[in-house]
Structure 1
Amino acid sequence: MSTGPIHAFLAGTGRDGARRTLADVVAFDDARIEGVHDFVQWCFPLSEASRAVPGAPVLGSEEADAIRADPIAQEGLRSALARMTEFYTRTDGWLRAYDHNHLRITRILAATRRLLGPDEAAAFHAFVTKRNEDAGSPVNADSLRYWGSALRDA
């Protein structure tokens, strides 16, 4: 049984604030991933309010515990992580000095570390930093520091 709306969403039994299921979001094409800005907070929840999307859910400690204890919610989070990895593999628009995706990546790293563990967060971090390096390192140093901090500050 779910302990909150984020848990239900990640477990595939709930809907986000726009009435989408996790399966709906994971099925987004790359243009929708890039252009829609209110799904990331549901897929990768944090314990602080989003400044980019007012009204987005905030992850409480009980709900975080429930997600960590639920293999179905864990797999839901992994499917969202896999979709974002696919997006960052196939697209290059985020590989520039400043881009909203840099904030998304920080969120993904922090949520992944807290809910799936440091190894999965470190693997995603290694992936995005390698993509950046392979593109000539266009991402600004502040974003890179935030990404590193997200691995340490869960």
Structure 2
Amino acid sequence: MSQYPILAFLAGAGRDDPGRDGAGRTLRDILAFDDAHIEGVHDYIQWCFPLHEASLAVPGAPVLSRAEAEAIRNDPAALSGLRAALGRMTRFYAETEGWLRSHDHNHLRITRILSAVSDLLGPEAAAEFHAFVTARNAGAGAPVNGPSLRYWDNALRRA
């Protein structure tokens, strides 16, 4: 296994020997998930959008080290994979309505996405995703609870 398994996973879509997540899936496998899989499977998001702290929802999920984060930031293939994952999740949130309610596990996913994207792709990419999800929420009558919205805002400020 690579010294940097998250980097190998994110960069793997264009390589002969792609990295795999803890369930043996490649990024390409996850990008091909239909919306039901995106909604119902809970152990891929930590690989697509890694953080520097352990996941409370998925014990054993990878934790991003500072060195691996720097390696991802300097690897065009890994950044391309991260952008592809962001695009897939943006499409999911654009095409589905289930997360547009007061409380939903997707609110935690959105916080994770904002934090990881801000850290690895930069604050502009995170701000663009933030603007998208908050506009989507506003267009649905603003059903998302205030604490979730504050977490999303705070994820941008930590960058």
- Does residue 142 of structure 1 match 2:125? no
Number of equivalenced pairs? 153
Partner-residue secondary structure (3-state), 1:108:
helix
Partner-residue secondary structure (3-state), 1:126:
helix
Partner-residue secondary structure (3-state), 2:98:
coil
Gapped runs of 5+ residues in structure 2? 13-17
- 2:154 partner letter: S
CA distance in 1 between partners of 2:88 and 2:38 (Å):
9
Give the Å deviation of 1:3.
4.3
- Does residue 20 of structure 1 match 2:25? yes
TM-score normalised per structure 2: 0.95
| CA RMSD between the two structures | 0.7
TM-score normalised per structure 1: 0.98
Native 8 Å contact 1:132 1:138 kept in 2: yes
- The aligned residue for residue 69 of structure 1 is 74
Partner-residue secondary structure (3-state), 2:128:
helix
- Does residue 41 of structure 1 match 2:46? yes
Map of 1:100-139 to 2, 5 A cutoff? 100-139=105-144
- The aligned residue for residue 89 of structure 1 is 94
CA distance in 1 between partners of 2:103 and 2:3 (Å):
37
Percent sequence identity over matched residues?
A: 71
Runs of 4 or more consecutive aligned structure 1 residues displaced over 6 Å after TM superposition:
none
- Does residue 79 of structure 1 match 2:109? no
Deviations 1:78-127 (A, max 9, x none): 00000000000000000000000000000000000000000000000000
CA distance in 2 between partners of 1:55 and 1:18 (Å):
11
